[in-house]
Amino acid sequence: MGRPLIGKADLGLTDGERGPIRAIVLAVLLMAMWLLMSGIYKPLVVGLGVFSVILCAFLVRHLGLLSKPTFNEDFALWRALRYAFWLTVEIGKADWAVAKIILSPDRPKNQRLIFVPAEQRTEHGKMLFATSITITPGTVTVETEPDRFLVHALTDEAADKGALAAMGAKVCALEKLG
């Protein structure tokens, strides 16, 4: 008799056995998202959607991207939700500040490029930090290096290295230990 089908948290599957399952889950999720977002359910369009989803799932599996650590394996979910709420509030504050600058008749001319340290341990952490900087109005991540990011800041407030370091620390806190 072979090994049991269900082991610990990983269902007793090796990485090689998880690959096809992850590809199928990816395909199902991509198809569901595609159907929800397209809103067109004609046979030809749905058929092309199925073809593109299968092609994407095949390419992702063939490139070995399904065997790399997932976003969920790098971050604690409840911390990520708390961070998302915090980031939404910060984006709202930055929206207001940028709107005031744009609508002001005398716009300040204090744009600058600054280096921001990137202390995250995982690629997902660095990606989340760079994206968080970019989606916050008034700042854009221009270039990424292994240990720092080059950021364009629209104002002195946006160029506040302390605030950007605090954002980086929040992303570091998201990363699971060990």
Query: pLDDT for 12-47, tens place per residue?
Result: 545 555 667 878 888 999 999 989 988 889 999 999
pLDDT in the model for residue 4: 42
Q: At what angle are helices 77-103 and 161-174 packed, to 10 degrees? A: 160
Per DSSP bridges, beta strands 112-117 and 139-144 are unpaired
* pLDDT tens-digit map of 113-164: 999 999 998 888 899 999 999 999 989 999 999 899 999 998 888 888 999 9
- Tokens (6 digits) for 118: 């990137």
- Could you give the CA distance from residue 84 to residue 78 in angstroms, rounded to a whole number? 10
pLDDT in the model for residue 151: 95
- pLDDT category at 10 given cuts 50, 70, 90 is very low
CB-based burial label for 7 (10 Å; 0-12, 13-18, 19+): exposed
**One-letter amino acid for residue 161 of the chain:** K
pLDDT in the model for residue 92: 92
Do residues 159 and 153 make contact, with C-beta atoms less than 8 angstroms apart? yes
Q: Which residues contact 80 (CB under 8 A, 6 or more apart)?
A: 174
Angle at alpha carbon of residue 81, lines to 77 and 83, rounded to 5°: 115
pLDDT in the model for residue 43: 93
- Tokens (6 digits) for 69: 């650590």
- Could you give the CA distance from residue 57 to residue 63 in angstroms, rounded to a whole number? 10
Count the Cβ atoms, other than its own, within 10 Å of residue 13: 14
- Could you give the CA distance from residue 29 to residue 36 in angstroms, rounded to a whole number? 11
* pLDDT tens-digit map of 72-128: 565 677 788 888 999 999 999 999 988 888 888 887 678 899 999 999 988 888 999
Q: Is the pLDDT of residue 5 over 50?
A: no
